[in-house]
Structure 1
Amino acid sequence: MKQKKYITFLTLFLVFTSFSQSKEFELVVPNLNNPWGFTFLPDNSMIITEKEGKLIHFKNGIKTEINGLPKIYVYGQGGLMDIELHPKYKDNGWVYFTYASQEGVGSGGNTTLMRARLKDNQLIDKEVLYIASPNSKRGQHFGSRIAFDGENHVYFSVGDRGDRDRNPQDLTRDGGKIYRLNDDGTIPKDNPFMSKRSVKKAIYSYGHRNPQGMEMNPFTNQIWAHEHGPRGGDEINVILKGKNYGWPKASYGINYSGTKFTKHRTLPGMENPIHYWTPSIAPSGMAFITSDKYGKWKGNLLVGSLKFQYVSRCVLKGNTVFKEVKLLKDIGRIRSIEQGLDGYIYVGVEDLGIVRLLPR
């Protein structure tokens, strides 16, 4: 065990030393296991989710664990996941986060959206806004990312929970969907399926597999999301009201075994991705560069790769990715990406921490 710990430490030291010499990044928050999500408070300190069920406040180089979390169902890919501030946080103090929970229908767990306020490193005024159901004992595809639009609607994603043949295309079931709520958890009157009986009226779009990246494009005010395909077929999509994104009826991917589960890459009435990866890069985390810190990179989209351990800088022309450039190659599994209040890009890396991407 001591030898294993030494080898792990040596590997991280060599990786960090190599990158430090290249001056591509600097380590800001060290010693994190799986920084699934993070966001910045008005004083530029961070609140960070660790998938294992810890919420951390990082300020002036010091980590303080925040108390008062609900019970987290840490199982498989599930745990404490994304976190975002309300756009009017300075006025109302609301913090939104997703986590795997055993509440709800059946055994196992599913994705839950909660909001709370933060006071003296304690969560108070906790409100559950949505519980996906039914629960499942499967350990994969919980999602989950959070984004706000310009009207303070909150969007969040729930993966198909490993049940691709039922959940994504069935509007009566949660899973494989992106949802839209008012900021207080009520359902907007103009949600696309409000007039249909027996459906989940919080659904905004469906036919998704496992979206682990979502942001409002600040240049178009549209919600963009990416999702994991199986063996190939990771996608970037522009999320449109009431649209079907095809999973699993249409996909650029195949089964992990190499067999096909569909003969269709596209189908009438289903949205095509604006970009896809084959082979799969296992995308997680995304951010648009809106600051001037990185020169001509302004307007680019950043997507993390868990599988190949780099950040893809996607150069856009409208809704088209016409070029990709790999950043932070071999740094580790990229889990989360955010632009800070200071205009710099910050990247959460598993078994390392949060790094600041330095301009070239």
Structure 2
Amino acid sequence: MSLRQKLTKPLIVEPAQADDHTHTVIFLHIFPAETTEEELGSKILSHKLTKNHKTLQEQFSTVRWVFPHPKAHARHWSNLSAEDKAELGLNLGGLPYITQIIIQESKLVGGLDKIILGGQGVTAEAAHEAMASFPEPKDAQRVSPETLAGFMQEYFHPSWTEMSQLKLAGFVGMHAQGGAVTRDAKNFGIASKLPGGKTVNTAVVTNTPHRFIHGGYKVQTITWDGKRIDDFARFLVEIGVYRTKETISINNNDSGNEQLTPKDRSGSQKADAKEQLNDVQKHALLVMKEKKATEQTRNIILQRIEADKVERKIRQERQRQARRAVEEKQEGEPQSSPMLPENISARKDFL
């Protein structure tokens, strides 16, 4: 597969209600470079169908959908030349590409807390790294409440004044079922457990609601794109994104509103093929099931190992910070000078 060299600006899907933009979803896809514009229209997240046969764009009509680099390309997001940055309108210095997109979109929608960020697989990990790459205030800006408020309002929200307010509306990581602990989940766990004062980026990560959806991104039927799309829609509702109600026709002329409800489909009727298997085929089927069970057990063990690694890093970091606190305390205590012989004799005379 050849990757196209030319970078493009993000693919934008405007809100269905153009005059009422309340939130923005920034989702990282990777599709082959030969994917046509018509094909992209059915593959991007905004056009995925929930179980009620409606697209996400139809149901969340006040959401703007942003897909940075929806086609695969030869250059990594964070490895852009000066010409690339000028072409893409990136004017925030050395900040990563996705981080700059987040800041740009937050200014359009009215604040960082109106941004939902996500991706699938490796792009979810890249998205999570981007939300931990915001600029940090300088020491002089932290000291003064006025300058800190100016910094917050320049980059994150027009009315924020304190770092405790930092957050995105939400983060969504879509991953395959049963795999090892992914880097986005691991980094979220580490950031949320680290002690001590928070930086801008740890505050953003720990304050942002997270949802990790497992099960891949494979189309299920022509009218439904699977449970993970329903899970994504449910998460949007949980964090306060408005989901429109379905307008239905009543008595031909009247119309009313009805809350969207999943429309169940009857499962396809399949003959029980097991009854038609011979002994060799049944044995092969049994071996395959046992192999699958063994693989699931192995994945569970790997997940526990990864979780243990995360906990070990947290403990090591806590121990390091504790040692550092003790050292700083010892350095701050005044050193008692040794008592000289003449001082001793003088003290005896005084006594």
TM-score class normalised by the smaller sequence = under 0.3
Instruction: Give the TM-score normalised by the residue count of structure 1.
Output: 0.23
**Higher fraction of helix:** 2
Flag the structure with more relative contact order, 1 or 2, with Cα contacts below 8 A and sequence separation at least 6: 2
**Higher fraction of strand:** 1
